[in-house]
Amino acid sequence: MISKHHHLKLLLLCFVSCSSGDEAAQKSQTEIVQPASSVDKLLIKEIQCEERVAESLAAKIAGQKPLDLKSPELSKYLSLIAQSLARHTSRPYFQYKVGILKDPSVNAYSASAGFLFVSEGLLKLSANEHELAGILAHELAHVAEKHVIQKSCEQRQIGIGETMARAMSRGGGEVGEVTSSYINQALETLLDIGLGPKLEGDADIMGVSLAHQAGYNAWALHDFLDRLAKQIETAKVPKSKTHPPFQERLKFLENFLKSEKFAKVSQLNDKVLAKRFKAAMKGMHP
């Protein structure tokens, strides 16, 4: 049996490799990670607590679904997209990192704080960087609104503040026994139960707005979900038990996009995006 410490070691190896880059990228990450000087000590402590909880949850996800450790450049590419999007969120101080799961299903997960995951199946279905940005923006919305923590706490009937306090109960980076129970619930929420139509709908709306602010096509997430729904209908990809019903979800998202008058164009140079998308995804899109 592989220990949780081994999973954590693999996880950190993946995230260290995928977040390394040139000097400019590292400088950018440092600016994102460091909280503003006006952030009070209580908030800093809460951020540290959430990072500890998220690290343990991310290690458990990696224990359930193997990590792809052979695509560091692709992970780096995804992480830089996430970091550029994160600048427009209310929580830009985390160092956002994207791990790739060797999973043929089409899914993405947020383990809170800066830990994001996408499956190989999702990457193979994505058509361009705009769609990847929309997907990652959706996951960043879950982080910004603390959806995973909120849902898991509701299911265990405990408060978010209580969970964060318990995360520090043993010190030395260890997560207390009660908080470990919460982490197991969060893992079940992500992999088996799902966050539900309400929170997924909220993340869709926030995600497309975030992608638009960063210069991407706001309609790209809708395009991806629409194609995924059709692939599931024709049994080309398996249906995920954590995805809400697509018909209502797409209609809700489409109504929002039209009400906000989002154009189906990008503020970014599509030729540049297409070139770097093709280079980064060559292993997924032969």
Q: What confidence tens digit (pLDDT) does each residue in 91-130 have?
A: 998 999 999 999 999 999 999 889 999 999 999 999 999 9
pLDDT of residue 158: 54
* Contacts of 153 by beta carbon, 8 Å cutoff, 6+ apart: 159, 160, 162, 163, 182
More confident residue, 33 or 264: 264
pLDDT of residue 243: 85
More confident residue, 93 or 9: 93
C-alpha to C-alpha distance for 38 and 54, rounded to whole angstroms? 24
**Taking 90 as the threshold, does the pLDDT of residue 180 lie above it?**
no
Query: Full-prediction pTM beyond 0.75?
Result: yes
pLDDT of residue 63: 92
> What is the chain's mean pLDDT, rounded?
82
More confident residue, 254 or 185: 254
pLDDT of residue 251: 96
Per-residue pLDDT band at 49 (split at 50, 70, 90): confident
**Taking 70 as the threshold, does the pLDDT of residue 39 lie above it?**
no
Q: For residue 71, how far is the Cα from the chain centroid?
A: 18
C-alpha to C-alpha distance for 19 and 3, rounded to whole angstroms? 25
* Contacts of 169 by beta carbon, 8 Å cutoff, 6+ apart: 176, 178, 179
- State which amino acid sits at residue 237: V
Of the listed ranges 148-152, 154-158, 234-238, 274-278, the one predicted with least confidence? 154-158
**Taking 60 as the threshold, does the pLDDT of residue 36 lie above it?**
no
SS (H, E, C) the chain: CCCHHHHHHHHHHHHHHHHCCCHHHHHHHHHHHCCCCCCCHHHHHHHHHHHHHHHHHHHHHHHHCCECCCCHHHHHHHHHHHHHHHCCCCCCCCCCEEEEECCCCCCEEECCCCEEEEEHHHHHHCCCHHHHHHHHHHHHHHHHCCHHHHHHHHHHCCCHHHHHHHHCCCCCCCCCHHHHHHHHHHHHHHHHHCCCHHHHHHHHHHHHHHHHHCCCCCCHHHHHHHHHHHHHHCCCCCCCCCCCCHHHHHHHHHHHHHHCCCCCCCCCCHHHHHHHHHHHCCCCCC
Q: Regarding beta strands 108-110 and 115-119, do their DSSP bridges make them parallel or antiparallel, or are they unpaired?
A: antiparallel
Cα dihedral across residues 144, 240, 132, 258: positive or negative: negative
| Segment 13-22, tens digit of pLDDT | 556 555 544 4
